[in-house]
Amino acid sequence: MENRAEGYERIVNVFANLYRNLSRGPLPAVLLWALIVVVLATFALTGFGFGNVWNRTENRLVSIPGSESYRASELLAPNESTNYAVYLLVDGVDMEKQHHEVLNVLQTATKNLQEIPGVIPAGVLHPFAAGDQATNPQAAAQMRGFIAKNKRGFMVVTFLDLTQFPEKAKEIRKMTETEMRQIAVDMRSFAPQARGLVNDKDLNNEAIALTAKTDTHLATVAAVIAIALVMFLTSGSMLMTLLILTACVTAWAISRAFTNLVSTFTPPTPEDPALVTVISLVTISGYTILLLARSRAQLAVIRYTAEIPDLRKIVLGRNQKRRSRRAATGSPLDEVFAHALPLVVTSTALITLGLVTVAFFPASHLKWVALVSIASVWGCSLATLSLIPALLYLTARWLEMPRPSWHRNLFNRLSGLVHTVKTQIFPSFQRKTPPTFRLKITIVTVITVLMIIPIFGITWRTAGEVGLHPHSPTAKFHALRQNQYGNTGATPDAIVLGKTTSAEMATWAGQVLKIPGVANAIVSPENIGSFAMLDVTFKENHTQREAVQIVTKIRTLPANFAKLVTGQTANEIDFAKQLLRYLPPAVLVMAMAAFLVIATATRRLWLAATATATNLAISLASLGITTGVFQDGAGFFIPFLNQSEGVEPSVAVLLAGYGFATALDYQIYVISKSGSVDYSTQEIPVLLRELTPSRGILWTKSAVNLAILFSFLPVTSQGVKQPVFALALMLLGHATLNQLVLAPLLAPYPDQLPAENTLIWKN
């Protein structure tokens, strides 16, 4: 034990020497970091002429490589360019009274569209493409599908083969969009209220990327403002507020630069950059608060115990100052930073392990988020261990300034309130009398189990939903199409690829139509290689669970040929199967890592086991509440928590990986204060002493992290909203349940204070 402590002290001394050298010249380090941040921010915003991440995002259906839906999607991918669809919805036209006028405009527009290179022959579909005689069954069906239900508009679809002129694909698409917009303009000669909404895959991606860009920037600005507000209220110091804002700007520049760099090789989904930003801000803010609090405490200890003279009061000449600075042993903050290294490195290692665990999940966008976040977290850790100490060396004089009177008065009142609650509630809760102890632990256990129950009815919903602001033109297009045209022009709910002929597929489609909830099953006139294609559409207003049941029945339906089923619901079923295989080993890895850190710090296996079990319970409860809020609609009355009929798989993956790493500070603090081991008769384990934060650091960090997470809740995408909500729940769970559950289980009693007369900074 002594050898271990001596080895640890030698390591600390090495880093203290490094910080001693930094303390003699912190300004060059600050200037170097300022240059780095400027370069990174410029690259993040401009890409140095190569564009930024928002020009490369793809709103794609993320699937599991090797799964059934993935293999079917790979077969369908070449068909997307040969049948590229451009849609036009026109409203504000009376289709009954202005029938002939609309027909004339559409006939002229069809001729103009067919002259555009790449438009498929007979590839312009509109209400009168098969004729305008209601007595003709084919024409009647065409009009019924392409005319709005309220008879106040119509739909036009133009199909392009972009493989004919690949070098001019973008130009052809723009020409087609412009010509289709002109249709609505021509209608205004007899229908002044006519309005046209054009959409296609690229326009949809651009709109979603713009929404994600706007949401992420606004959420980041809101997070920075919230951090500044929380930090100013908790510290009462404008200097400390500016220091943490500097750290957050550095983290933003680092994360956005890595995001931009990696996106040049692998395009992300629109919600991925926001998740990387959240993880980076949470990481660097926690580390910065740790260094700020410990530095301020160290300076206060030195000042009030007079361990060193106040060098500012010694008047020296310029040469004497320079010589004394060279000969000085260093700053009192040197050992603060050296002793903070174990917590920063251990926390970074746990976060890295959690993100590596996330990267093992086969979904490409989660791998992207995990790998970019790992690079960003290590960049933030490097900034924490170099830039923040350099800034603190420069501002050490102002750190010693006392808090303003308003801040002291505010905290005195809050402390009185907390003391009242603590003296009346917590002693009775934590008193270890067997009957009351068992009763209260049982109550907390039952409540936790109730929070976990929604998991058993969970339905996974992948990021195939359209993340758009409701007032954007693209969102209005989707709303109008869904309300007035039903399944016409909509992406099929399921696509079946069968290695057979179209005739045999049409015969088998009759069995599909018998499945409850199926509206249409239409065989495509074109085959995909040797596969016949069946487009399956569900009935309107179906639930997510009904869709899962339909796809499951289609997959199990007997057939005389090999078949593959894909689509969003099929993809979600494959995600659910993969999660069942991934989560147990992922949770085991992170639980073992947390167990080993706590066991090493405390040298008590049962303490580590109890803390790990509490961690697992908090993770499951967070997932359960997220399921109840977003899938079951329990949070309908809370702003920004709109129902989505399912839970993003990334929620479970991030909780199992990254979420476990957030528990260390809370559990180490509870263990160190629980008195579970009588340290009055033995030396406190050195790692436990270094990893233990004070209560002030812990609650300030919690408040800042919650401010960051809540700032990202208003974003449109469920792929961001749900993970940050779940992580916020986990943070709240660690801040409360570890005090309510873990502390009583560890049989607390008053801390054993040392007998010597020294300055004790308790809590």
> Does residue 604 fall inside a structural domain?
yes
Are 402 and 453 members of one domain?
no
How remote is the C-alpha of 153 from its chain's centroid? Answer: 39
Are 410 and 435 members of one domain?
no
- Which structural domain, as residue segments, surrounds residue 621? 430-459+578-674+688-748
User: What does the alpha-carbon distance between residue 616 and residue 608 come to, in Å, rounded to a whole number?
Assistant: 12
> Does residue 623 fall inside a structural domain?
yes
The chain-wide mean pLDDT, for the chain, equals 81
Are 555 and 587 members of one domain?
no
Name the pTM for this structure: 0.84
pLDDT confidence of residue 361? 85
> Does residue 149 fall inside a structural domain?
yes
If one counts every other C-beta atom within 10 angstroms of the C-beta of residue 579, the result is 20
Over residues 22-70, the pLDDT tens digits come to 888 889 999 999 999 999 999 998 888 778 888 888 877 777 888 888 8
Q: Dump strand ranges (E) for 92-149.
A: 119-125
pLDDT confidence of residue 552? 92
> Does residue 60 fall inside a structural domain?
no
If one counts every other C-beta atom within 10 angstroms of the C-beta of residue 169, the result is 18
Are 138 and 262 members of one domain?
no
Are 717 and 645 members of one domain?
yes
Over residues 510-553, the pLDDT tens digits come to 999 999 999 888 888 878 888 899 999 998 878 888 888 999 99
Are 244 and 102 members of one domain?
no
User: What does the alpha-carbon distance between residue 562 and residue 219 come to, in Å, rounded to a whole number?
Assistant: 48
User: What does the alpha-carbon distance between residue 455 and residue 441 come to, in Å, rounded to a whole number?
Assistant: 22
Are 705 and 589 members of one domain?
yes
Are 509 and 628 members of one domain?
no
Total tally of structural domains belonging to the chain? 4
pLDDT confidence of residue 580? 84
Are 91 and 174 members of one domain?
yes
pLDDT, average across residues 271-276: 91
pLDDT confidence of residue 593? 85
> Does residue 628 fall inside a structural domain?
yes
If one counts every other C-beta atom within 10 angstroms of the C-beta of residue 215, the result is 22
Over residues 349-365, the pLDDT tens digits come to 888 988 888 888 888 78
Are 339 and 381 members of one domain?
yes
Q: Beta strand pairing status for 84-91 and 153-160?
A: antiparallel
> Does residue 468 fall inside a structural domain?
no
Which of 100-104, 582-586, 649-653, 657-661 tops mean pLDDT?
100-104
Written as six digits, the tokens of 432 are: 């270890």
User: What does the alpha-carbon distance between residue 204 and residue 542 come to, in Å, rounded to a whole number?
Assistant: 24
Q: Poorest-confidence range of 241-255, 396-410, 735-749?
A: 735-749
Task: Find all residues with CB under 8 Å of 315, minimum gap 6, and list them.
Answer: none
> Does residue 652 fall inside a structural domain?
yes
pLDDT confidence of residue 670? 73
Q: Poorest-confidence range of 93-102, 307-316, 661-670?
A: 307-316
pLDDT confidence of residue 134? 76
Are 516 and 434 members of one domain?
no
pLDDT confidence of residue 7? 61
- Report phi then psi at 646, rounded to 5: 180, 170
Amino acid at 484: Q
Q: Poorest-confidence range of 109-123, 455-469, 735-749?
A: 735-749
pLDDT confidence of residue 308? 45
Are 386 and 440 members of one domain?
no
Among candidates 107, 86, 98, which has minimal Cα distance to 194? 98
Q: Is residue 417 a contact partner of residue 589, using CB atoms and an 8 Å limit?
A: no
